[in-house]
């Protein structure tokens, strides 16, 4: 399937709808697909007819995070700073900034679980809706990484210090019921059937003619301007923290262990 089909953009009136459409891989995203996601956010940003950008997935998962399968780096590149630097700038800074600086109202509709970098990115949403069996997990520390995607700021801001500690320090799988209790998730839809249609109907009612669209975006800008500045300071720190660990070979070793356990469990 072509990349434009794996992450696609549809415009419906004031709504730009970005769909993660690779259910066979649980909507795991390669580096190039994260870049496409960022590009589509910028395309929605530049569309003067759009006031609300909606992210949703197809299938059982919203996104399983980064797709780690593919050709591994050579032994020479494995611990090479020049090899990892452009990859982390693209994945950790470019896509994160596309999310946290997005000027339109950003809505994420969690049709299922969300993991890793994808979970970090959705924390920049203005509104998050979810099915009742969704959950979030950011296993960065168990993989020898540090917080990424702006999550070291956004998780604390959106779910509070205590729950952010559970998510980022412990890598705990957090069910949607707890995410709703702390305000990370705005609304839970009990029925999974026709989730996309339910969300779009709710959004059409919520963002109706009673709202002045320019005031909507102007107020968002005022509310998030300080956070954007903070994220601009924090994003390079997250990126260099990850870069240092890749250059030491820590994540590579942990991911290798996980892959070996997975293969052994299938024997």
pLDDT in tens, 2-11: 888 999 999 9
In tens, the pLDDT along 127-177 reads: 999 999 999 999 999 999 999 999 999 999 999 999 999 999 999 999 999
Contacts of 112 (CB under 8 A, 6+ apart): 57, 59, 60, 61, 62, 131, 133, 134
In tens, the pLDDT along 40-78 reads: 999 999 999 999 999 999 999 999 999 977 556 666 667
CB atoms within 10 A of CB 1: 8
Model-wide pTM > 0.75: yes
Looking at per-residue pLDDT, the higher value among 257 and 124 belongs to 124
CATH number of the domain to which 188 belongs? 3.90.226.10
Look up the domain containing 166 and give its range: 3-265
Looking at per-residue pLDDT, the higher value among 29 and 261 belongs to 29
Query: How high does pLDDT run on average in the chain?
Result: 93
CA distances from 63 to 25, 205, 235, 253, 266 (A): 9, 27, 22, 24, 23
DSSP-assigned beta bridge partners for residue 28: none
The region of weakest confidence among 85-89, 118-122, 192-196 is 85-89
Number of domain units in the chain: 1
Q: Which residue has the tokens 């960022």?
A: 38
DSSP-assigned beta bridge partners for residue 105: 52
Q: Residue 267: its pLDDT value, please? A: 47
Residue 266 pLDDT greater than 60, yes or no: no
| Nearest-angstrom CA–CA distance, 210 and 250 | 53
| Nearest-angstrom CA–CA distance, 262 and 267 | 9
Q: How large is the average pLDDT for residues 16-36?
A: 96
Q: How large is the average pLDDT for residues 77-98?
A: 84
Is 238 within 8 Å of 150 (Cβ atoms)?
A: yes
Radius of gyration of the chain (CA): 18
The single residue of 148, 190, 197, 257 carrying the catalytic annotation is 148
Question: Phi first, then psi: what are they for 60, rounded to 5°?
Answer: -80, -25
Q: Residue 3: its pLDDT value, please? A: 86
Active-site annotation holds for 166 = no
| Six token digits for residue 166 | 């559970």
Report the relative pairing of strands 105-110 and 15-20 from DSSP bridges: unpaired
Q: Residue 84: its pLDDT value, please? A: 84
Q: Residue 259: its pLDDT value, please? A: 63
């Amino acid at each position: 399937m072509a990349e434009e089909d794996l992450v696609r953009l549809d415009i419906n009136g004031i709504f730009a709808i970005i769909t993660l459409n690779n259910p066979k891989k649980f909507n795991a995203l390669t580096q190039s697909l994260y870049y496409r996601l960022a590009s589509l956010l910028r395309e929605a940003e530049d569309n003067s007819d759009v006031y609300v950008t909606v992210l949703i997935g197809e299938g059982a998962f919203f996104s399983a995070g980064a797709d780690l399968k593919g050709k591994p780096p050579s032994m020479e590149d494995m611990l090479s700073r020049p090899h990892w630097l452009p990859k982390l700038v693209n994945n950790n800074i470019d896509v994160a900034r596309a999310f946290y600086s997005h000027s339109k109202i950003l809505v994420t509709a969690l049709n299922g679980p969300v993991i890793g970098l994808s979970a970090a990115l959705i924390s920049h949403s203005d509104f998050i809706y979810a099915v009742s069996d969704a959950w979030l997990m950011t296993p960065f520390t168990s993989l020898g990484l540090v917080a990424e995607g702006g999550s070291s700021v956004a998780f604390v801001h959106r779910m509070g210090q205590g729950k952010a500690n559970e998510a980022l320090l412990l890598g705990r799988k957090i069910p949607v019921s707890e995410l709703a209790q702390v305000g990370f998730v705005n609304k839970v839809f009990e029925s999974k059937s026709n989730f996309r249609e339910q969300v779009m109907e709710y959004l059409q009612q919520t963002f109706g003619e009673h709202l002045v669209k320019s005031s909507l975006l102007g107020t968002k800008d005022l509310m998030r301007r300080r956070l954007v500045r903070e994220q601009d300071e924090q994003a390079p720190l997250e990126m260099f923290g990850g870069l240092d660990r890749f250059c030491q070979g820590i994540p590579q070793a942990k991911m290798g262990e996980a892959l070996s356990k997975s293969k052994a469990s299938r024997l």
